[in-house]
Structure 1
Amino acid sequence: MKILFLGDVVGNLGMKMIEQYLPILKRDYKPQLTIVNGENATSFGRGINKKVYKGIMNAGADVITLGNHAWNNEEIFEFIDDTKKLVRPLNFPGQDTPGNGYTIININGKKVAVINLQGRIFMDPIDDPFRMVNDLVDDLKSQVDSIFVDFHAETTSEKQVMAMYLDGKISALVGTHTHVQTNDNRILKNGTAFLTDAGMCGPIDGVLGMKYNNIIHRFLTQRPTRFEVEENGNGIVSGCIIDINNDTGKAKSINTIMISPDHPYQG
């Protein structure tokens, strides 16, 4: 089974890149499951709304994962409970948290669980992702054939530790949130595919998708500045393609995908 995963979609330019390239990537890689992180996909780069959700789904996503900006657009509360295809972090605190932290997709008789987690280092306070995902994976192992985790976290160490903690228990763990693709795609010793960060889909001529002048000003003055999504310039598409053994649920390969002016798509 092949899983195509694309990193954080940022703003209008990110949506344009998804609409342009996701159908092409699906045509060429022929994944059975396509997952996109959409937590920065609105025009102002925070959260998701129904229009954006539908846009990503119409472009070819089967599941959309979120992250720390999940609740930044109040419109999400109007539709997140009505779809199993939009997954927010499992470890958001509270007993009545809207939406779901995971979903199960049936693909040609094989069941795949897609889990969204959020880290705690340099992030807002949140419940323990290690304990919560361990309990969930134990519950799911008799129900599904493979498990994919999008771990939305700030530090490389937390992502790596989580992958090693779950090695052999899940098929793949891919990090999101930092918007810069890492070069450490590998299969861990017990068969779990891992990539510290998938990168982003959005403006490459800014800083993590934001206009760079405001951010330069902040570094020079140490005064608060407003982050604004870059609307112009070049775009980038970052992600990975993972091949999973249908019989064992273990990963066979994980390869990165990057489309940018320096890495034009070759097909």
Structure 2
Amino acid sequence: MINIKNISKQYHIKDNSTLEVLKNINFTFKHNHIYSLIGESGSGKSTLSRLLTYIEKPTKGEIYINNRELNGLSKKQLRRMRANVQMVLQNASSALDPRQKVYDIIAESIRNLTDIARNDEKKYIENMIEKVELPSKVLYSYPNELSGGQQKRVCIARAMSVSPQFIVFDESVSGLDVIVRKKVLDLLLRLQREYKSTYLFITHDIDVAIYMSRDILVMKDGNIIEHVSNLKSYKDFRHEYSKILIKSQLT
């Protein structure tokens, strides 16, 4: 479904030097699957998410979606691709336009990225907001009138409204209290079963990563240093860095 080949990302910094954030990453994300990506801050997780959603382009390497390489696609082709690849960010309040009501926030994505007719739009959006377990009256509220948990659900509704094949959740439940976080995670799992999307769940919290998936990627210094599939216990992690990361969170 999504295949990344020899992906590297460099940024130019002062004195004409470069900072290499990602280094020759290769991976294939399968259809209808959930992956979790863990690693310390600065390991390259968020940079990878921006490349996968094509917010930024890789310095080297190729990204394939449904066997189509992204580099060189026309603007029209990229727009169609964006309906298949969505992202839900950590800070929901900054991701939502404070000048728009929730209805218009979701409608904007639908109008730009789908072929849903205007006559069907209202019913579709009402159904979508119900799927994320929010009352329909929320549609006529501004983001600042909602709680943090409600804002997060609006972001999820907006992403899911275009029926994407692949969704990146970048620290998407960070900052929520334990009870709200658990409810949001369960909502995401239910939606994944319904839509059969592929998730990449980026988090620094190992327990959250394991709750979401048994397929765990570990990133360090711009490299995926370990991939554990069908995780059953912490003992399945073999790399020394992974063990240190786990120990630091459990102690």
Provide TM-score, normalisation by structure 1: 0.32
Provide TM-score, normalisation by structure 2: 0.34
- Between Structure 1 and Structure 2, the one with more helix by share is 2
Structure number with higher relative contact order (C-alpha < 8 Å, ≥ 6 residues apart)? 2
- Computing the radius of gyration over CA atoms, which structure comes out larger, 1 or 2? 2
